[in-house]
Structure formats: C-alpha cells, structure tokens
Structure 1
Amino acid sequence: MHIALYGGSFDPPHNAHLALCLFASELLRPDRFMISVSNNPFKWRYAVADVYRKQMAGLLAGELAGVGIVAEVSGWELEKKQPSYTVDLVRYVRSIYPNDRLTLLIGADSYREIKTWKSWESIPSLCDLAVFGRSDGRNSSFPRPDGIAADEVRFIEFDYPVSSTQIREAIAAGLPLTGLIPSSIRRYIVEHDLYRSR
C-alpha cells in the first residue's frame, strides 16, 4: 500500500490544501491519504482550539472522499500534548505501516527550511519526499539542501496562492470566501463562529 502523509496546522483548511491533495492523488497515485493536524513547535498559538482544527481536517478528508479518494485524519500530534516534529510523525506512521510505501507531502517553503528540522537527515530514509511549489525562478529545479540526494525528492510544480492567514483575515473583515475554502468548511466556520474579530 502507498500512503501519502500530509501534515499541517489546518487553521483553517482551504482550497490550496484540497488542490494539493487532488494533484498528489493524480500524480503519485497513493492508496490513501493520512492528514495529520500538527502541533508545530515554531507556532506560539493557533487561532482556534485543536478540536476545531481536527474537525475541519476531517471535513477536508470528506471532500477527498467525495471524489473517491481514501483519506483519514490523524490526531496523534495533538494527543501528544507537546510540540511535535515531522520526523516523529513519520516514525509513528512508519511504526503502523512498516512494510508500506510512505510519501511525505510538503510545500516548497517548508522544504527550504528542512535543515532546521529535528533529525532532518533521517527523513529521506524513512519516506519518499514530494515537494510542491514554484521553482526558484533561476532554473527548472527547486533549491535542494546539501545532504539530500536528487533521487530522494520529487519536485512538483504547484502554485495555488491561498493561505490560512489570508482566510482568517478575510473572515475577520467580513469579506467573501469565494474560491478560497470548501463549502463544508465554510459552513462549519459559520456554525461555530470561528475567526471572527472580537
């Protein structure tokens, strides 16, 4: 079995998250997606409680299921009640699926910072890496940190300029979210009165 692992804050999930998963499904052909809601050690706090982020990630998984893609949400990082690191998440998933192929989906911005990650050198030996984003504009390839071989990473051109920060600001300002967020997640945000300015 081939598992695509996609971690993030999902505060909130949006159309770029959905588009990346759809694109990954088409290109990489995983059998299932595991969406992990992170407890990023580099973020002081999140805009909404963990329970909301996890439930919205579940709605993102539901959007994928609606087009026939198998997806599950993992709350393992949240349940640790302490900062989580990518290498720990990958090792956890590997412990559950020791004999399966595992591909970690990450954005180009995160990849550029990979050498700041805990035990980053171990990650390519634990899983494949698929990096999504724009190239650096100087050539056809993404920048590659020293220590990671070219054949350990698949670079995929992907440009969908939507961010969770942009969406939170739009909601706080009462602006429309057309084209930014799946309707199921928009309804959830409205129902729970999330991201409104207080």
Structure 2
Amino acid sequence: MRIGIFGGAFNPVHNGHLALAKHYKDSLSLDRLIYIPTANPPHKPSGNLIDGEHRINMLKLCVGDDEVCDIEFRHDGKSYTYLTLQELRRAYPNDKLYLIIGADQFFYFENWYKYEEILSLATVVTAAREGNQYSQMLEFKAQHPSLKDVVVSEFEVIDVSSSQIRNAVSQGEDISQYVPKRVEEYIKEHRLYV
C-alpha cells in the first residue's frame, strides 16, 4: 500500500493544504492519506497554536475519506517527525510511506531532528509554492547531496497561508475564499483567532 503522511500545524487547515494533498494523492497514486496535526512543533513557537482538538476537528470537517491522526498528541515533549515516522513504520511495516512537507520546510529540512533517518523511513515529497520557487528548489537540491532522493514537484498552487487567514479573522475580514465553508463556520462558531 502507498500511504501519504501530511503533517503540519493546520492552524487552520486551508484550501492550499487540501490542493497539495489532492495533488499528491493523484500524482503518487496514494491508497491512503493521513493528516497529522503537530502537537508541539520543534521548529516554531507553539504559542499561537490553537488547541489541538480544534485543529483536528477542522481537518475532519474537510478531508473526506482521508484520515486524521492524533498520534503526536499522545506523547509529551516536542513533536519530532522522526519519532512519528518510526511509530508509523512499526504500524505499516510493509507499506511505502511518503512524507509530504511544505516548500518552506524543504529549505530547512537538513536542520530537522534526525533528517537522514527520516529519509530512510519515508520518501520525502514537496512542491513549489510560488512561480519561481520550483527552479530555486531544484538548484538547492542539487547543491545538497543528502536531499537527492527528495521529490520536488511543481503544480498550480493556491497562494494562501494559515498566518494570513489568522490575521484576516482577527481583522474581521472574509476568509471564504481560503478555507472550506465548514471550516469557516467552525472558526466563527468557536470564535477562533479573534
């Protein structure tokens, strides 16, 4: 089986996340896609993260038949991708795992905890987020031999970020073009990011 692992803060999940997931489901012929919201990210402050329960609930509202896994909320300490992948590898010993990472994280991937072991546990895939970023990513990959097996792709992206959405909500602006309707309603109902 071919399993995609899509981790991130999803604070909140937005149309860009969902488009990226669909791209990889189709291009890699994934049998399953598992969204894994991070509990305590090591590479960024968690102070602006809303409660994990809200992030999990919003994901469940919009991922259809895909799965949402709370694996990183079951452990104390930082949410290291390496440890999560180790656990998933034990659960799926004979399956091909694909770790989907954002373009922003690709450039810092060699700073991740045990990044070389991550590369041995899963095929890392990423996609350019902006028009000229694809060539920059390929050039960066060529200059970093340890990243030779990372799959870099290019596709039409939805230019939106979670921080942009949080800022829009705090300013009382419309976010309907950035998130699924059910996520927008959830944010309003629970008064998130205000």
Task: State if a TM-score over 0.5 links the two structures.
Answer: yes
Alignment of 1:48-197 (within 5 A): 48-62=50-64, 65=65, 71-133=66-128, 134=130, 136=133, 141-144=138-141, 146-148=144-146, 150=148, 152-158=149-155, 159-196=157-194
- The ranges of structure 1 where at least 4 consecutive aligned residues each deviate by more than 3 angstroms after the TM superposition are 134-140
Please give the alpha-carbon distance, in whole angstroms, between the structure 2 residues aligned to 1:93 and 1:138. Answer: 32
TM-aligned CA distance change 1:16 to 1:74, over 3 Å: same
Number of residues paired by the alignment? 188
Please give the alpha-carbon distance, in whole angstroms, between the structure 2 residues aligned to 1:47 and 1:84. Answer: 13
TM-score under structure 1 length normalisation: 0.88
Q: Unmatched 5+ residue regions in structure 2?
A: none
Structure 2 counterpart SS, 1:82: coil
| C-alpha distance after superposition, 1:3-52 (max 9, x if no partner) | 00000001100000011011111111100101001020232323421111
Q: Is the 8 A contact 1:94 1:126 kept in 2?
A: yes
Q: Is the 8 A contact 1:136 1:143 kept in 2?
A: no
AA of the residue aligned to 1:184: R
Give the Å deviation of 1:89: 1.2
- Percent identity between the two aligned chains: 32
Q: Unmatched 5+ residue regions in structure 1?
A: 66-70
Structure 2 counterpart SS, 1:131: strand
Structure 2 counterpart SS, 1:118: coil
Please give the alpha-carbon distance, in whole angstroms, between the structure 2 residues aligned to 1:89 and 1:137. Answer: 28
User: Cα RMSD (Å) of the superposition?
Assistant: 1.8
Please give the alpha-carbon distance, in whole angstroms, between the structure 1 residues aligned to 2:72 and 2:49. Answer: 17
Please give the alpha-carbon distance, in whole angstroms, between the structure 1 residues aligned to 2:137 and 2:115. Answer: 24
AA of the residue aligned to 1:169: N
| C-alpha distance after superposition, 1:151-183 (max 9, x if no partner) | x12111143210000001111111111320011
AA of the residue aligned to 1:53: R
TM-aligned CA distance change 1:141 to 1:103, over 3 Å: same
Q: Is the 8 A contact 2:127 2:134 kept in 1?
A: no
TM-score under structure 2 length normalisation: 0.89
